[in-house]
Copies of this chain bind each other. A is one copy, B any other.
Amino acid sequence: MTSQRLAIYRYLIGTDSHPTADDIYQALQKQFPTMSPATVYKTLELLVDMGLITELGFGDSANRYDGNPGLHLNLICVHCNGIADLDEPLLARLAEQAAAAAQFEIMRGRHEFYGLCASCRKELERSASQSPSRQTAG
């Protein structure tokens, strides 16, 4: 266990921003100016394998990482790209039922809803009322 690994892990559990590997790399530049991206990637893989963190993969961009390894929902805003965690008791029951129904042995899960967060929703409503693009024009 090295100080780089510890720092990466600490950074992840200390933030709720769900950073990308590069975000982490950037953030730790001050602390470890010589640290390479490869180290970040290797460490993240290690932590995922150990079950200490969760990987949130997106097809079209960089992976993001979640310091919370437990079963929870991720609410991902398609407008601001923010990710909020939400603990939802129903998830545990969902896991039970799925395991029973399919004889599946669950090791971990990933649960994401994509949509609009509260603040983006408000923002969009506001701008929509300011410029009503195509009301049945007169």
Measuring CB to CB, which residues of chain A are less than 8 angstroms from any residue of chain B? 55, 57-60, 63, 73, 75, 77-78, 84, 86, 88, 90-91, 93-95, 97-99, 101-118, 121
Contact = CB atoms under 8 A, between A and B. Distances in A.
A98 B121 contact: no
Given A90-B94, A97-B90, A102-B75, A110 B112 contact: yes
16 contacts: A57-B58, A57-B59, A75-B104, A88-B97, A90-B93, A91-B94, A103-B117, A103-B118, A103-B121, A104-B113, A104-B115, A104-B118, A106-B114, A107-B114, A107-B116, A111-B111
Contact of A117 (B57, B78, B104): B104
